[in-house]
Amino acid sequence: MLVALAAGAAFAVSTAVAGADVYAAQCAVCHQAEGAGLGPFPALVDNAFVEGAEGALVSLVLRGRDGMPPFANLLDDAAIAAVLTHVRSAWGNDAAPIDEQTVAEVRADAEPAVEIAVDLPDDWRERGEVAYLETCAACHGAGGLGIPGAFPALAENAFVQGSAEALLRVLLNGRAGMPAFAGSVDNERLALISSYVRSAWGNEAHPVDAEMVSVVRGGGDLDLAPSTPTTRPGAAD
């Protein structure tokens, strides 16, 4: 009798997920063993986002962002809760643990509520359309349908509706046959155009303002969650 109970208890303990082990297996390759980060991989130590709001942090790990891969299909709720609890309490970080229930709730929220303040004139849609027609329509078409095989459609395009930062980088720097607009179009006009293409022809993503363009132009990061996937199968990069 006593032997059987002891064996049961030992078995129960072995099912606990160790956050440090998940971190070592899944995160350390980029963020480094001690969370110090390296090159494009941000430090997770002394990081206000890591120690901040639980929902945004869980959502980032589930859904990814630019170079940060999504873990929704790789890690279950218990493993994500464990690894984030570890990251929030290791290396001098000091934030509350995250439980499995919180991860389950964020996972169930298909569209996490993201509040983004933008500073745009009231007639941004009209002005954005005019600027789009003048600057972009020659290639992508007045209706955003592009020309198959030459110029991609911007209508119902996941990349256009994804990370505002990734979109602005393509507009500022160009890509393959797409010219760079950093030298010829100012921040306000790029903001109007980006906001327009993200809301026209069935697209639905939050608008972009001149300050955001200025940050990306300066090489900075926009700390915004993507509204839809940021990569498009078959995209050139």
Site for ligand HEC, rule CB under 6 A: 26-27, 29-31, 40-42, 44, 47, 49-50, 57, 60-61, 65-69, 71, 83, 87, 135-136, 138-140, 151-152, 154, 157, 159-160, 167, 170-171, 175-179, 181, 193, 197, 221, 232, 235-236
The tokens for 43 are: 């430090």
Minimal distance, residue 97 CB to ligand HEC, in Å: 14
Minimal distance, residue 60 CB to ligand HEC, in Å: 6
Minimal distance, residue 102 CB to ligand HEC, in Å: 15
Please identify, using beta-carbon distances, which residue of 103 and 193 lies nearer to ligand HEC: 193
Q: Residues for the chain: how many in total?
A: 237
Please identify, using beta-carbon distances, which residue of 8 and 234 lies nearer to ligand HEC: 234
Please identify, using beta-carbon distances, which residue of 1 and 184 lies nearer to ligand HEC: 184
Q: How far apart are the C-alpha atoms of 191 and 118, rounded to whole Å? A: 10
Minimal distance, residue 56 CB to ligand HEC, in Å: 9
Residue 119: helix, strand or coil by DSSP? coil
Sign of CA dihedral 37, 41, 47, 51: negative
DSSP type of residue 204: -
Minimal distance, residue 154 CB to ligand HEC, in Å: 6
Minimal distance, residue 4 CB to ligand HEC, in Å: 38
DSSP letters for 124-176: HHHHHHHHHHHHTHHHH-TTS--BTTTB---TT-HHHHS-HHHHHHHHHH-BT
Please identify, using beta-carbon distances, which residue of 159 and 201 lies nearer to ligand HEC: 159
Please identify, using beta-carbon distances, which residue of 6 and 204 lies nearer to ligand HEC: 204
Contact 200, 192 (CB under 8 A): no
Q: For residue 30, what are the CA distances in angstroms to 10, 39, 196, 233, 237?
A: 34, 9, 36, 24, 20
Angle subtended by helix axes 210-217 and 187-197, to nearest 10: 110
Nearest to 17 by CA among 97, 79, 80, 93: 79
Please identify, using beta-carbon distances, which residue of 90 and 118 lies nearer to ligand HEC: 90
Minimal distance, residue 79 CB to ligand HEC, in Å: 8
